Amino acid sequence: MICFPNAKINLGLSIIDKRADGMHNIETCMMPVPVYDILEIKSSKEFSIVNSGIPISSNTEDNIISKTWEQLISINKKIPPVDVFLYKNIPIGSGLGGGSSDAAFFLKAINKLVSLQLSFEEMEGIMKRVGADSPFFIRNETAIATGVGDMLCPIENPLRNMYITIVYPNTIISTDKAYSRFEMYKNELSPVSTDCLRSIIAADINDWKNELKNDFEFLFLKDFPEISEIKDTLYNRGAIYSSLTGSGSAIYSVSSKPLNVDDLKGKYLTFSFFNQLTL
């Protein structure tokens, strides 16, 4: 079986507070986008993973797909082993959710291959034990996300029939590092409530530039001025809105017409598409 785990972008992101378990509560809107990894699964005598494309630095046992497999066999030890071939195209440490998507699509594929008959709710429950963003990719639809990103409320895709450009500045920002930085500067941030986030997203997109914020931008722009430069370039080329996605480091823009980013393609990994897909 071959499937194509897609990326996501975040429309706004507020870090609310640190939880007793050490994780952080957030408010954000996650939206699937058509940037894909490739995942192939074949029957095997023992479980294995082979990675290609963008290199993955972690050990196999630390791979999020391996963690998903461990969760599966803890539920049902009779699941037959598989070989997993993963081609990475979604950049790592970009805030685009590639690893989380790989895990969720792997789970959905096994659920279909072995006829486990797990419901969406059951698969989301498994994904909550694997990664904070992973439950989102089970239903894979635009949603307001709260909690650690695992409590989801679907909304209509607000960017359908818009052009989206994503630029990855070849910089990896680890999620752990991002949230550690929040602890240093949290008193300087003003969290946005879920109701406020909904109203901003539902309002005129031309107002997003001044209203729709990602807290991680404030935390990282001083350390990574290149992110700010790319964002300014996208605005200068005609973007209506531009933002860091997730904890970064990828920056995306929204526009009514295609942006000319040919000069950026020679320096950075870029993705451009007309957003009419219903993922």
What is the DSSP annotation of 7-62? EEEEEEEEEEEE-TTS-EEEEEEEEEEEEE-EEEEEE-SS-EEEEEES---S-GGG
Backbone angles phi, psi at 143, to 5 degrees: -155, 150
Q: Is 133 a catalytic residue?
A: yes
Catalytic residue among 133, 150, 213, 231: 133
Residue 30: other Cβ atoms inside 10 A: 24
Strands (E), 37-161: 38-43, 48-53, 82-88, 143-146, 151-154
How far apart CA 35 and CA 166 sit, in angstroms, is 10
CA torsion through residues 239, 240, 243, 246, sign: negative
How do beta strands 143-146 and 151-154 pair? Answer: antiparallel
Nearest 5°: CA angle at 208, between 205 and 212?
A: 140
Name the token pair of 107. Answer: 């789970």
Catalytic residue among 8, 88, 213, 231: 8
Residue 83 known to be catalytic: no
Name 116's Cβ contacts closer than 8 Å, sequence gap at least 6.
Answer: 76, 79, 110
CB atoms within 10 A of CB 249: 26
The set of catalytic residues is 8, 133
